[in-house]
Amino acid sequence: MEYPHWNIQLLEEDVLNNSIISSHADFVVSAFGLKTFSTAQLEKLAFEINRILKPNGQFAFIEISEPKWLLLRLLFMFYLNWIIPIIGKLFMGNSMDYKMLGVYCSKFKNCEKFSTQLKANGLEVRYKKYFFGCATGVMGYKK
């Protein structure tokens, strides 16, 4: 893929062991890539974000989350644990991959812990709920 009007270099790497040099990135963004990470991996990711961003460089992450309101949590987890795997089976021929979504979401909970880890690394962080907590996000910048 080419981006003739932008200076973009594509790397296919493990973000936790990347080759990006320090203070080099303008932005770090990811959608739905946090939920499978352990606490230690999130800690390493927070460190890496602070390391690779330029001063004033920005980051934004979003992830599916467990809503705090009980009724919504029950409905949303039912949707993740049962409806999504059925849709996956019907349209993709595989329900097992999609069954893991509820498992990962229950373990991950939300972006609150990651927000604390980012702050501990010196980043300016804002935490945000979407769809009444069915997704949460963190965004901010390197001071």
Quick one: which segment of 25-33, 80-88, 112-120, 124-132 binds ligand SAM (CB under 6 A)?
25-33
29-48 residues in contact with ligand SAM (CB under 6 A) are: 31-33
92 near ligand SAM, judged by CB under 6 A:
no
C-beta separation of 113 from 125 below 8 A: no
Q: How far is CA 69 from CA 5, 51, 85, 95, in A?
A: 46, 36, 23, 27
In three-state secondary structure terms, 119 is helix
Q: How many residues bind ligand SAM (CB under 6 A)?
A: 6
Q: For the sheet with 123-130, list strands across it.
A: 25-31, 53-64, 135-142, 123-130
74 near ligand SAM, judged by CB under 6 A:
no
Selected from 2, 11, 14, 143, the binder of ligand SAM by CB under 6 A is 14
Residue 33 or 69 having the CB closest to ligand SAM: 33
Rounded CA gap, 124 and 141, in Å? 5
Which parts of this chain interact with ligand SAM (CB under 6 A)?
Answer: 14-16, 31-33
